[in-house]
Structure 1
């Protein structure tokens, strides 16, 4: 049984009018971490060829692609405009983009090892996990405080809208139950309460059961 993915303190339900609420960013990061733990467990158990493991891996890659695409296309350019006269902050944003680029070959290496059932697959998964964790921590510890200091909640809602447009309705139908997968019931309720009522209804009636039926990573 997989441990809950997100500690309660990472899900903030209140929204101070002058501060950005990063709940969706944190729980998305935690979902990436959870999926890589599940992939490593599946590989270690000799289940890398299981179609449900491959489906979980494909979904992980898609979620990561959407997340980083919107950051690269919307978030980092917007921030660069706000800190144009601050070299240290510009260097941080350049590092964020460079770290995204470093992840691409790591994903390709895992793909190649999966396709060839290579003996180096566990090491490739471990290296991807290391590189992604390093990036997520860097973003959480340095980029999010910068965002909090120079952007407004209204700016952040623009980022959320860009993310929603990129996901689209079909993407949302996977993203919502993917986020709550592995959460404690209390944390799942607290997260879902942040969503518009129509999305909560769709998730309860359709999305959740459809997602569970896929048994991603066969965990």
Structure 2
């Protein structure tokens, strides 16, 4: 059975989008504004959950299936090493934002480039491997762990964050991949609450 990677690709696109918004805010001199800081804090939280659950639940599961295949194991090593390279860049941007440091634009560009390279590597190489060696049940266990980590309160932010600013087609594709109760909750409660947060808004 084919694994549905819709939510994974949508999450990756949301990470890229938020770093574009951060770069624009830095260029416009808005990096210290409350909406930008709130957007940055949410970005960090979403990326932390995403990478932490990959490291704890996804890559070990794949490793079990590719034992004895050096190239596949090396790819998983790369995934974990790339996560480790992103963490200090996040910390450096965090510090530069707080200090309003002159190197902030360069750090944001470095973080965006490093994360973009990782996401493309994952999409081009790791996801096809996952499709080959994991079952739909394996993938459901991984995504279930993400939902458990997010909790209901986290889901209320995650779902509208994913579709913030996306095209109608991409929005529909992502929401159609969600269970019907999630779509109802998002339409009735979550998206309005998310809009009121004003993440990344120009103040």
Q: TM-score, normalised by structure 2?
A: 0.97
Q: Could you tell me how far apart the structure 2 residues matched to 1:104 and 1:27 are?
A: 21
Q: Could you tell me how far apart the structure 1 residues matched to 2:26 and 2:167 are?
A: 25
Quote the residue 2:171 is aligned against: 188
RMSD: 0.9
Asked if 1:148 corresponds to 2:131, the answer is yes
Quote the residue 1:64 is aligned against: 47
- Deviation beyond 2 Å, 4+ runs, structure 1: none
Q: 5+ residue gaps in structure 1?
A: 1-17
Quote the residue 1:116 is aligned against: 99
Q: Could you tell me how far apart the structure 1 residues matched to 2:170 and 2:132 are?
A: 27
Alignment of 1:49-128 (within 5 A): 49-128=32-111
Q: Could you tell me how far apart the structure 1 residues matched to 2:173 and 2:49 are?
A: 24
Q: Could you tell me how far apart the structure 1 residues matched to 2:105 and 2:136 are?
A: 41
Deviations, residues 155-174 of structure 1 (Å, cap 9, x unaligned): 11111111111111111001
Contact kept, 8 Å, 2:6 with 2:173, in 1: the verdict is no
Out of 205, 209, 214, the residue aligned to residue 188 of structure 2 is 205
Q: Could you tell me how far apart the structure 1 residues matched to 2:122 and 2:155 are?
A: 23
Q: 5+ residue gaps in structure 2?
A: none
Quote the residue 1:36 is aligned against: 19
Q: Could you tell me how far apart the structure 1 residues matched to 2:195 and 2:84 are?
A: 32
Q: Could you tell me how far apart the structure 2 residues matched to 1:137 and 1:147 are?
A: 15
